[in-house]
Structures are given as C-alpha cells and as structure tokens.
Structure 1
C-alpha cells in the first residue's frame, strides 16, 4: 500500500513538473512553435517558369528572384527557368499555365482580355506607368483573372515604350504605307499599324528574327530591351523612336499550383516580387539609352528624325473598342486622365 502511494506521488510530481516545464516553454516560444509547425507542414515543390526574352533585364531579375525564393523557403520551392521561348510564344505559354501544364510564365502578350487593350497607343506617360501597375483598376483586373482563368498575377512589371525598326527610314506615318510590320498578337497594336497605313503581321516573338532576315516582314516594333534580346538590330537598318505604345510584362502562376504551396512559402514568393519589379525597372530604364548608343556607334542602325505628335495624331481611336468591351465604359478615359501623356 505504501509502495502504491509512493508511486502515485512520484507520478503526480513528475506530471506536475512536466506541466510546469511545458508551461514555461509554451509561454516563451509559442510563436516559434507555431512557425516551426507551419514550416514542418511545408512540402517541397518543383516549378518551371518560361520566358521568351533570353538575356534580358526581365530574365536576369527573374533569375535573382528564383534564387531568393529558394533561399527564403530553405530550398522547398525550386523553380527552373525555361528561357528563349522553348515552349512557344507568350500566348501559348500563358495557355499552358491556365491548363496547369506549366507552373509560371513571364510574358507581355498574355491573351488575357484585361491586359490586351493596355497597348492602346499613347495611353501612358512613361513616368506614371508603374503608378498604374499598383492602382485599384489593376487590382480589380488581377482579381478577375484569378477567378475566371485560374491564373494569379504575381507581378506587374515595367515595359518601356515601343519603337519601330525597319529596313527603310520612317520619318512620318506615311512612310509605313504598305510595309509589312511584325506586331505581337495584340489587337490594339494591329489596329494602330493599320491606322499608320502599314500591313501588320501578327507573329510570336521567337519567329521574328527569321521573318525579318528572310524579308517575310519589313520591320517590327518593340522596346529597345526586347530588340536587343532578339538581336533584331542585326537584321534591321533603321530605328524610329515613336514611343507609340507602352504596356507591362507579367509574372503569372497557375492558381491551383500556387495554392498547393504551403502558406509560409507562398508568402516568401509574394514578398520577393517587389524586389523583382524594382530590379527590372531600374535596369530597363538605364539600358535604353545605352543600347541605342551601342547600336549607332557600331553602325548597326541609324536613328530617323520624326515628330511623335504626327504619329499620335495618326492612330485615331485604335484599340478603344476592345478596351471598352474588356474594361467597361469610361475606364479608358479614366486611365488617360490619371496616367496619360497629358495627365
């Protein structure tokens, strides 16, 4: 009987001591324990991200983003870059993300109805474009795309104004009459070049160099960084700095794949986006003039004199019908008023 009582007392003392110790531990490190449990629940995941612009500022910043995400998730989120349009053009790759066959894509031409009209000619003041990227209008579009397409917009990225390259000098809109100009598969840009008098030819970017080299098209239009990425200055003689349109690039991820990542690792992916976007914008703004100087000094191209106002006056309402259908009445005018060249 005494033995039983002693054993019971010992067990009670041990239980009390354990409770006391546990209480001290919980009080001092409840947050750490919760964080540890959250991380313990995180499973490794392998993703692929595709892009078309090899060696560009977008790709370089994306590589750094991938490294930071890997480090911030202790290697649980591994992202492999597929560069150079290996999986096709941008719109094709966005479709693959929607289907879940590809995890992420970095693209400017998306085929998403909210983003396509963004290339309406002369819509943005370059200095204000990134203010729009964080606007309520943009957030509404991102929400709609996620709900409708199953695609999350992780990043809205800076995209410099677009220039025209050609094998004949372009000083005024009339110089484009009859020229076959490669444009992306974006209705606003197709309409703009029709308004200029050109024959727009919609081609995926990976096909552009060959089309220019063989004379299938006479020219193309893109920001300087994209021209350099595709080495298009090698097969063109003139650059016309028309600044005729400006949009964005986007980092997109399949929503189901994103939700399959644990919450703490998703938070890392989203937190690192701001550095990605700022790195890209800083490099892209710095390199435009440097690229142009390099092309001219090497004799690759000549710069044509022109009056941008003539081009702005020639495009009319190109892209406005698509914009109103996608965005609703009055949104195009609101964007122009707040972020446009005359805002």
Structure 2
C-alpha cells in the first residue's frame, strides 16, 4: 500500500469515526413518563417539548414520551428517577414530598387562592427554596411548574358540608397531602391507582373521587358519577422533573435548553387547562350532571382544626410565606 493510499484510508477512517460519533450522539435516548391521557395538554405539551429539545440540540437527544401510566403509576415513575428507568417525569409535588416532605406544603387544602396565586408561587423565592431542598435530598432537578387545575369532588351521593362526607368511600391519590380534606371530614379513603379509578367508580368499589374538571373530562369520570361538588380544596400543579443522572450529564448549554423548553411547554399546557376549565361546568351540565356549590370555609376550617402541618411533614413558615404572595398576571 502506498503512502498516499494509507493516508487516504486513515482520513476515511477518521471521517467515519466522526460520523459514527455524531450518530451515537444523536441517538442519546431519554424516557419521559407521566400518568395522563394522550389527549391532555400535559402530554401534548411534553411531545412538543421533546421535539423542540431535539431541534434546539441539533438532534443530540431523542426523547420518547410515555403517557397513561405506561411506565408505572405515579409513585413508580418518581422512584424511577433514582432507579434509572425514567429520565424525566411530570408529577405533583405531593409525590416529590415522599422524598422531601416540606415541598408538599402546596397540597395542604386551601393553600392557594387561585391559579394566579399558584403561578406567582412558581416564580417565588419560597418555591426556589423548596425545590432546592428537594434537589439537595434527591439530586433531581425541577425545571418547570404547570397548572393542573382546581381539584373538585365527584360523587354518586351529593353533599354540601364537610360533615356530610362522613363514611363516604372516596378515592384519593396515594400521597398524604390528598388525604387531609377527606380525613378531616370523616370520609373513608381509598388510595387507588389513577389508571384504575374509572373501574373503581363503575363497579362501586368507591362512591367518589376528586380531581380537576379537566381530568374528570379526560378520564371520563362523568360517565360513572352523577354529581360534581365544587369543594375547590386544592389548586393543583405538576412539576417537570429531570433525574439526577440526566441533569448531572447535561452541559450548561443543554441545561439551559431543557429548562427553557420545559418552561415554554408548561406555559402552553397551563393556558389550555385554564381555558378548558372555564368551559367545563356548562359542558357537564349539558351531560346531565348536577353541579353542587358548597361553603368552602366550612371545609377549610375543619381541615385547619383537625390536620396540623407538622403531621404531614410540612413547615407552617413555608405556608405563611405562600399566603403572603401577591398574584401577578
């Protein structure tokens, strides 16, 4: 082989290595999991974000989004961040609180006045402090907060007061924060997995459940429940969380891209949820459901009287800081 031939072969090999390296880099695959339906804004915004991250990183990341509990129920995907079975999730702070209890204070009933108050919290120092505490404990990094909606109850039997919930079999998510209002009112609590709620309502395993109106629509709970009770007990949100394994590997530039895209996706989903939430009471009335309004002060006072912050692992000082926040549009 001549020197020229050897040189050309070496150049070809180097070019191939660069090309193959580029392909390998382009095939960095990530799993993004959540428990929501494909038609819901949380999924459609996540799919958009996955594509946008691929675009802004020149194809170096391929993110596959898994909806509808495909990679496990909510507690599973939270654990999956540490186990390496998922790289990104959308999940509520109530589940993050299993690792770092103080961050769950936002789920103490009637903490937020409305969606604007929640969104002000997402930009506040108290949120930054709680998110840092969670990251210090787990290594996982919260990049965005999405408005999930105001949680209302649905039931086969209407009720107007906290006392009338006594003995009611109600499904709540398997996290302590969600138990506070039903427990204070004397209901019988069943922490059934989200994917199984429709069937549990249909076959009478439980009489009631609670979720935002948009979720009641998406999961078709209105097909197996007769009444919507406007308890408004939690103004809910979801966090977009990156695992420690992923966050630690990202360059500063890629961290910026992931964070910016997640915030844009959260804003998209938030706007969709807020708009649809305004329309849904009329939609449910047209479907023949009864809308029951209640005195929320009755529920709030009963919770405060019976469920302490400390019993849930929260700090009242954090709650007080949240109460002092002014909503900004």
Shorter-chain TM-score range: 0.7 to 0.9
**1:289 matched to which residue of 2?**
278
CA distance in 1, matches of 2:119, 2:218: 22
**2:325 matched to which residue of 1?**
338
Structure 1 stretches of at least 4 aligned residues deviating more than 4 Å after TM superposition:
none
Q: Give the TM-score normalised by structure 2.
A: 0.84
Moved more, 236-245 or 144-153: 144-153
Deviation at 1:252, TM superposition (A): 1.1
Deviations 1:151-179 (A, max 9, x none): 11121221221100000112222221111
Q: Give the TM-score normalised by structure 1.
A: 0.81
Q: Is residue 266 from structure 1 mapped to residue 251 from structure 2 by the alignment?
A: no
**1:304 matched to which residue of 2?**
292
SS at match of 1:161: strand
**1:6 matched to which residue of 2?**
none
CA distance in 2, matches of 1:145, 1:175: 37
Deviations 1:268-289 (A, max 9, x none): 1112122112111111110012
**1:75 matched to which residue of 2?**
59
Which stretches in structure 2 are left out of the alignment for 5+ residues? 1-21
Deviation at 1:250, TM superposition (A): 0.8
CA distance in 1, matches of 2:104, 2:173: 10
Deviations 1:49-101 (A, max 9, x none): 11111121211211211121111111111110111001221111110112222
CA distance in 1, matches of 2:126, 2:324: 13
Q: How many corresponding residue pairs?
A: 299
On the 8 A contact 2:231/2:293 being kept in 1, the answer is: no
Structure 1 residues 265 and 62 mapped into 2: Cα distance closer, same or farther (>3 Å)?
Answer: same
**1:123 matched to which residue of 2?**
111
CA distance in 1, matches of 2:241, 2:321: 26
CA distance in 1, matches of 2:222, 2:308: 28
**1:43 matched to which residue of 2?**
25
Rg larger for: 1
Moved more, 185-194 or 120-129: 185-194
Structure 1 residues 204 and 189 mapped into 2: Cα distance closer, same or farther (>3 Å)?
Answer: same
Q: Is residue 101 from structure 1 mapped to residue 101 from structure 2 by the alignment?
A: no
Deviation at 1:264, TM superposition (A): 2.7
On the 8 A contact 1:196/1:314 being kept in 2, the answer is: yes
| Mapping of residues 173-188 of structure 1, within 5 Å | 173-188=162-177
Question: CA RMSD, aligned part only?
Answer: 2.2
Structure 1 residues 319 and 209 mapped into 2: Cα distance closer, same or farther (>3 Å)?
Answer: farther
CA distance in 2, matches of 1:49, 1:229: 20
Which stretches in structure 1 are left out of the alignment for 5+ residues? 1-39
